[in-house]
Amino acid sequence: MAKSDARLELSNVTEVLRILRKLDEDYYKQFRQDAKEIATPVRNAIQRELRKFSRGNPPLSGMRQVHFGRVAWGTTYAPAGRPRPKPYDSALIDVPRRMKKNRYGYTPIVRVVVGSPGTVLADMAGISNRKTRAYPITRPYDYMYTIRGQKVPGKRQHEITTQGLEMIANLPGRRPSRYVWKGAEDELPTARKKIDKSISKLNNYVNIKLRRTL
């Protein structure tokens, strides 16, 4: 093949980045940094939406942290030996080094990860009521028992009642995602255009580097 004919068709972003990393480590790092910067306005918009609430003013009054609640809004509780949960407004930008298709069939180049259990619960509650009704017993979860006046960590399960459905009905915004998507959607069109432009630039750069190696 002549040098002028060398070409890489962009059909698999993971493969292109793998090739780029071998050809030019610095450009690879710059691409990852650019992706994070593109996602920053999306992250900021999500946090603005989440910060409409606070630990003292959660989406539902029942989500206030009283004692030991893993999914309380802004909980700081963690069992002994485990890391403390993320703040309720935590939204971390991640550019995966190993990109895989998600359950929707897409390969995420950059993503914003919301890590607080209470935030995820309030945001996505009711995403699949069929699954809730299919399992009348919860999976085991951490729980603090009171025995002779002492708090003792353990595991617990309970029956799923209509309380969960009532909670969903009372959450501000009836359909999930209530806060994360709502915050992000205005910034997403601009972010998509910028990431598309960055990928096109990446593809052209890799083509040039490949021509020089042939």
**Residue 141 within a domain:** yes
Number of domains in the chain: 1
List the beta bridge partners of residue 175: none
Q: What is the pLDDT of residues 143-163, one digit of tens each?
A: 777 888 888 888 877 665 555
Q: What is the pLDDT of residues 90-116, one digit of tens each?
A: 999 998 887 777 777 777 888 898 888
The pLDDT of residue 10 is: 43
**Residue 15 within a domain:** no
Q: Which domain holds residue 101?
A: 20-213
**Residue 1 within a domain:** no
Tokens standing for residue 75: 């909980």
Listed residue (9, 7, 60) closest to 199, CA to CA:
9
CA dihedral 26, 28, 32, 37 (to 10 degrees): 60
The pLDDT of residue 158 is: 64
Q: What is the pTM of this model?
A: 0.69
Q: What is the pLDDT of residues 55-97, one digit of tens each?
A: 888 887 677 766 566 677 877 777 778 888 888 899 999 988 8
Q: What is the pLDDT of residues 183-195, one digit of tens each?
A: 888 999 999 999 9
